[in-house]
Structures are given as structure tokens and as C-alpha cells.
């Protein structure tokens, strides 16, 4: 089953996506998401200029061998661009394999370990009361897990809060906007948000919160401790995750569950966090962590140490990634939860898919392969437009993690 064609499709139906399409001599095609938000063309070039020539003529059934060939054969290993490119190839090959065997990918991963996949949605508001109203909307939609983000009094912007009626979307066209940040104001405010949310919604609803890499370990320990009365499902990205041992300090002070990993791209970024049980959920996902094949290896290590999966699922991960993640989620034993930010209507039109949401859970569907496609003609009507993630500075002007 030789690969005879490989195309990199860059489009922007509401936001930029990079999609790899592989086609075999039998006419079977497969898709992989290769989107790295704010650096999309770097991955498109890595694929087009360096990887695609290596794929033509390869046997599409040799998924593991192709992964190792692209990883070890590049000499320069790891990193978000390389691993998103390898991830896209890997995902497309699983898609092809499923289609060629007329079976959904989750059946190739060991079958379903659960009936459906628990997901969480993103509620946010400029004020506590707006956030309460947003959470109520998600509860009405049937969500049993909701991430809550809120504006911080005295700060013009806060992570995860949309502007006006605009759905929260991380990338912006033009030059990177600069947001001001104050950890002190944030730390003093967030516990009041969850006091109000628990008072409004009681104890059963799962609440999640994303710190988005902005605290020091001792600040994160303080926040985790302050949030213990509200028993969050998880506190995400409490600190920049390059310093894995930094989590030891947080762990010493709080029982609030910790989640990290959406920026990780191989098991090497997180094996210490997992082996020392410094986290409770690993957020790595298909598009950024080397595809389904490598994500399974990360999950297998995590299973040994009581760490569960919590795949990233923001709008800058395309429906191709969401479909692949749901096949992985349905099958993996130590599943925790799946993030689900709904895409724009135009994105869903460009990427028709079989996955469905209902009553707080999702299922990838039983279409052969991943159950997602790309309408290339429609995609061409949404040309790429450079966009950047915001940057952040402290009140004194010092650059900070966004
Ligand atoms: C966020 C992401 O969904 C999340 O947990 O951390 O929205 C993140 O900001 C974007 O994926 C960055 O591109
Ligand atoms: Mg996050």
C-alpha cells in the first residue's frame, strides 16, 4: 500500500490550520493535523520541503517504522515543529489504516474502554457574574465539567476571556497584542471566583481552571492550597513546565489536582513529572505530541503512575486532531477528560466529521478511519492570514509567560 501523493493544506476558516493529506496507490487517503498556533508555516514547510519527499513510495501500513524513521532520521529531534510534522504523518497513516480495514481507528487501538468520552467546555466572563452565567449555559447544554476563566479586576485582559460576544480565540491577526499581568491581583482574586461558583452550582459540577503558565511554584502552591475547599477537577499549567522539578514544590503544599502538558511534544518533556507523580493529568495531545503512536506511549507510562490523560482540545487544534484524540480517548485505559472548544461553523464545514457531543460526553463515531475529512475546494476559499498569540508583560513592563 504505497504512498503516492502528499499534500499540505493551509487554510483559515475562522483561524489558521495546517492539514496533511496522504494518498495511497489504492486511492485511500488519510489526514493529520499539523497546526502550531502562531507558527503554522514553519510546520507546513517542514512537511512540504523535508518530510513529503521521504514519504512518497513508503508503505502506508508501516506506521511505527515511519514514525521512527522520521524521528531518528532527522538527527535534530523533538521540539514543537518537528513533532507536529511527525504527528500529522502518524495520524494520517492511522486514518488510512482504519479506512483500508473498513474500521474506526479506536478499534485498532484495542477497542472501546468506555461508552463515551467525558469532555469539558470553556466558560468565561469579564466579571464573576458573567462567568457564573456562562457556566450556567454550559450546564444547560449538558456539560458536567466546565473550565472557568474570569477577568481580573484592575487588569485590562485576562487569559481565556473572550471580548464581548466573541468566542475566546487565542490567535489574532496583525502583530502580537501585548497584555498586562499581575500575579498578585490574580492570586487575590481567583479564590473568590470559585467561592461564588461553588455557592451557585454546588459540589457536583467538575470545575477546571487554567493558570496558563503564569505563576512561580510557590505562588502556584499558594493558589492550589487556597482552592482546596472548592475541590477543582484540576488546576492547569500552574507554572511554565520547562522546570519539571518545580512541581515538587507545588506538590508539597497542596492536594489540588495538577494538569500540564499541552505544550509538550515528547515523553521526554514529562517523564519525570509522571514518574515522580508530580501531576495528576497529562495534557499532551495528538497534534503536538508526535501523533497517536507517541501519545499512546506517554499514556502507557502515565498509567503506571496513576496519571490520567486530559488531552488539549482548543480551537487551534483542528477537527482532524479532535477526531483522532477522541479515538485515543475512547480506547486508552487511564483516560481522564477531553477538552472540547467548539470550532466555528466555517471550520466545521471545511472539516466534516462524525464525532458528536451529547449530554456532556463525546464519541468519535464508527466511520472507518478517523471519521473526518477536508473539503479542499472550500478550504481554498479561506487563505492563510498570519496571526500571533498575544504576549504578556508584568505591570513594570517585564516580559512574562502568556
Ligand atoms: C489553552 C489553549 O485550551 C487551553 O487549555 O491553554 O487555548 C492555549 O492557549 C492555545 O491552545 C494556544 O494556542
Ligand atoms: Mg491550557
Residues 69 and 90 in one domain: yes
Residues 71 and 204 in one domain: no
Whose CA is closest to 309, among 135, 169, 113, 138? 113
Helix (H, G, I), strand (E, B) or coil at 87: helix
Q: Which domain holds residue 311?
A: 108-367
Is 334 part of a structural domain of the chain? yes
Mean pLDDT, residues 233-260: 96
47 burial class (0-12, 13-18, 19+ CB within 10 angstroms)?
buried
Cα(170) to ligand 1 centroid in Å equals 7
Residues 136 and 263 in one domain: yes
Residues 215 and 66 in one domain: no
Is 375 part of a structural domain of the chain? no
Is 317 part of a structural domain of the chain? yes
Residues 6+ apart with CB under 8 A from 43: 18, 34, 35, 36, 81, 84, 85, 88
What pLDDT sits at residue 7? Answer: 98
What pLDDT sits at residue 165? Answer: 58
Mean pLDDT, residues 112-116: 98
Q: Is the pLDDT of residue 139 over 70?
A: yes
Q: What is the pairing mode between strands 399-400 and 391-394?
A: antiparallel
Cα(211) to ligand 2 centroid in Å equals 8
Give, using CA atoms, the residue closest to atom 7 of ligand 1.
314
Q: Which atom of ligand 1 is nearest to the CA of 313?
A: 3
* Residue 372 contacts residue 343 (beta carbons within 8 Å): no
What pLDDT sits at residue 166? Answer: 56
Q: For residues 143 and 209, what is the distance between their CA atoms, to the nearest angstrom?
A: 15
Is 372 part of a structural domain of the chain? no
Q: For residues 232 and 326, what is the distance between their CA atoms, to the nearest angstrom?
A: 23
pLDDT, tens digit (0-9, with 9 covering 90-100), for 24-83: 999 999 999 999 999 999 999 999 999 999 999 999 999 999 999 999 999 999 999 999
Q: Is the pLDDT of residue 163 over 90?
A: no
Q: Which residues line ligand 1 (CB under 6 A)?
A: 37, 170, 210, 212, 262, 312, 314, 316, 339, 389
Amino acid at each position: 500500500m504505497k504512498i503516492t501523493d502528499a499534500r499540505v493544506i493551509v487554510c483559515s476558516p475562522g483561524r489558521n490550520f495546517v492539514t496533511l493529506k496522504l494518498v495511497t496507490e489504492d486511492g485511500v487517503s488519510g489526514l493529520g493535523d499539523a497546526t502550531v498556533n502562531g507558527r503554522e508555516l514553519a510546520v507546513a514547510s517542514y512537511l512540504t520541503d523535508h518530510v513529503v519527499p521521504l514519504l512518497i513510495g513508503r508503505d502506508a501500513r508501516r506506521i511505527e517504522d515511519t514514525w521512527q524513521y522520521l524521528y531518528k532520521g532527522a538527527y535534530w529531534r523533538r521540539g514543537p515543529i518537528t513533532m507536529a510534522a511527525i504527528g500529522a504523518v502518524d495520524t494520517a497513516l492511522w486514518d488510512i489504516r482504519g479506512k483500508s480495514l473498513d474500521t474506526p481507528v479506536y478499534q485498532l487501538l484495542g477497542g472501546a474502554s468506555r461508552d463515551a468520552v467525558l469532555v469539558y467546555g470553556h466558560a468565561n466572563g469579564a466579571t464573576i457574574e458573567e462567568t457564573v452565567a456562562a457556566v450556567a449555559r454550559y450546564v444547560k447544554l449538558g456539560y458536567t465539567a466546565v473550565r472557568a476563566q474570569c477577568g481580573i479586576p484592575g487588569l485590562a485582559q485576562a487569559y481565556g476571556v473572550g471580548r464581548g460576544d466573541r468566542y475566546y480565540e487565542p490567535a489574532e491577526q496583525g502583530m502580537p497584542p501585548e497584555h498586562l499581568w499581575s500575579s498578585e491581583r490574580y492570586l487575590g482574586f481567583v479564590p473568590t471566583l470559585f467561592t461564588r461558583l461553588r455557592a451557585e452550582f454546588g459540589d457536583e459540577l467538575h470545575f477546571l481552571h487554567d493558570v496558563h503558565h503564569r505563576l512561580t511554584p510557590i505562588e502556584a502552591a499558594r493558589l492550589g492550597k487556597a482552592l482546596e475547599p472548592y475541590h477543582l477537577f484540576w488546576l492547569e499549567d500552574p507554572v511554565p513546565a520547562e522546570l519539571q522539578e518545580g512541581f515538587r514544590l507545588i506538590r508539597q503544599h497542596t492536594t489540588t489536582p495538577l494538569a500540564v502538558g499541552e505544550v509538550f511534544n515528547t515523553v521526554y518533556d514529562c517523564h519525570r513529572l509522571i514518574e515522580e507523580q508530580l501531576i495528576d493529568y497529562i495534557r499532551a495531545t495528538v497534534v503536538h505530541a508526535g501523533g497517536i503512536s507517541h501519545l499512546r506511549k506517554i499514556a502507557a507510562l502515565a498509567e503506571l503512575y496513576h496519571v490520567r490523560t486530559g488531552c488539549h482540545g482548543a480551537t487551534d487544534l483542528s477537527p482532524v486532531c479532535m477526531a483522532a484524540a477522541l479515538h485515543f480517548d475512547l480506547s486508552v485505559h487511564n483516560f481522564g477528560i477531553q477538552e472540547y472548544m467548539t470550532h466555528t461553523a466555517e471550520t466545521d464545514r471545511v472539516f466534516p466529521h462524525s464525532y458528536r457531543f451529547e449530554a456532556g460526553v463525546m464519541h468519535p463515531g464508527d466511520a472507518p478511519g478517523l471519521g473526518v475529512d477536508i473539503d479542499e475546494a472550500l478550504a481554498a476559499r479561506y487563505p492563510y492570514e498570519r496571526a500571533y498569540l498575544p504576549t504578556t508583560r508584568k505591570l513594570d513592563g517585564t516580559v512574562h509567560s502568556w
